[in-house]
Amino acid sequence: MNADAILDVQVEHGHLKIREHVGRLLWLARTVRPDISYAVGVVARYVDSWNVAAERLLVRVMQYLKVPREPLEYLRMTSLKISDVSVLGYADADFAGCPETRKSTSGRVTYLVAGGNKYLVDWSSRRQRFVSSSTSESEMAALEEAVQLSLFPALSFLRSVQEGDYALTLLCDSQVVLRAVEMGYSPKLHHMAVTRATDLAWIHQVCEKQKLVRLEYVRTGENVSDLMTKPLFPEGHIRCWTMLRVPQIGRRSMD
């Protein structure tokens, strides 16, 4: 019996306990393995319509996990002054990357910056709910998600520890989106407030008027959240994993 026939039999009889395996992978991706977030998210889309192609994707993820990886750096809050901590986020999105739905995928990565070092505290890879008509639209949606779901929760956490004014910085590789936020209006993106409840005026208010979040441009090759939005060639994947694993601005002991 060849490999395809074996996979057909396994899928038909449910021998692999698909939901159990995918659930474990989702937990792993959410807690300690950000590098598999996108791949596991793709596999999870097929839980209710499992097929041989999805089986192969699951096997590839399992094989990838067998390769040893260096551990991530962890933040030791007891050795820091909370008033010296700031928040740094990255946001990115692909365009129509899902072949079945033509929906885009948002990616975000968030660090706490303290003592000259960066420590990874949050990440996400999530398929957007609506179909985007352009790359700028999907990037704008990803930027808003990063502000609402990563930066502001991180700010709330820091303020629950100690009240203060903490710097929030968000890096994006779309100059079109950054200009639109700076102006507070874009004729090509104004429809997003109606079609997908993404309010450009609110983002402008938060970033340009209230100065709660500082937006900065980052080159695509230096945007670590690119790992959360699409499959990358080995070189790009290794580069992003290295940025996640060794995110220090300047190495020094935290002991």
Say if residue 61 is in the same domain as residue 99. Answer: no
Of 46, 39, 38, the closest CA to residue 19 belongs to 46
What is the pTM for the complete model shown?
Answer: 0.86
CA distance 148 to 146: 6
Handedness of CA 113, 150, 203, 89 (dihedral sign): positive
- Mean pLDDT, range 24-29, rounded to an integer: 94
* Statement to judge: residues 83 and 12 lie in one domain: no
Strands 214-217 vs 168-172: parallel, antiparallel or unpaired: parallel
Co-location of 127 and 176 in the same domain: yes
Whether 187 and 198 have beta carbons less than 8 Å apart is answered as no
In a domain, 239, yes or no: yes
Among 45, 65, 85, the domain-final residue is 65
Strand order in the sheet with 117-127: 117-127, 105-114, 86-93, 168-172, 214-217
Does 103 reside within a domain?
Answer: yes
Q: How confident is the prediction for the chain on average, in pLDDT?
A: 86
List the beta strands (DSSP E) in the chain: 86-93, 105-114, 117-127, 168-172, 214-217
Q: β-strands 168-172, 86-93: how paired?
A: parallel
Residues 86 and 28 in one domain: no
Which residues, including other chains, have CB under 8 Å from residue 109's CB and lie 6 or more apart? 34, 89, 90, 120, 122, 123, 224, 225, 227, 228, 244
Interatomic CA distance for residues 204 and 181, integer angstroms = 5
Q: Are residues 51 and 94 in the same domain?
A: no
In a domain, 188, yes or no: yes
42 inside domain:
yes
pLDDT higher than threshold 70 for residue 6: no
Cα torsion for 65, 222, 109, 100, to the nearest 10°?
A: -70
Give 32's DSSP letter: T
Decide if pLDDT at 247 tops 70: no
Is residue 40 in some structural domain?
yes
Residue 9 has pLDDT above 60, yes or no: no
- Is residue 57 domain-shared with residue 81, that is, in the same domain? no
Model confidence pLDDT, tens digit, residues 68-103? 777 666 656 556 677 789 999 999 999 999 999 999
- Check whether residue 185 and residue 100 sit in a common domain: yes
Does residue 252 lie within any of the structural domains? Answer: no
- Model confidence over 107-128: pLDDT tens digits? 999 999 987 788 899 999 999 9
Tokens encoding 183: 């102006």
User: For residue 46, what are the domain limits?
Assistant: 3-65
- 44, 65, 86 — which closes off a domain? 65
Q: What are the CA-CA distances from residue 230 to residues 41, 91, 129, 174, 221 (Å)?
A: 11, 13, 16, 16, 14
Q: What is the pLDDT of residue 68?
A: 78
Q: Higher pLDDT residue, 245 or 253?
A: 245
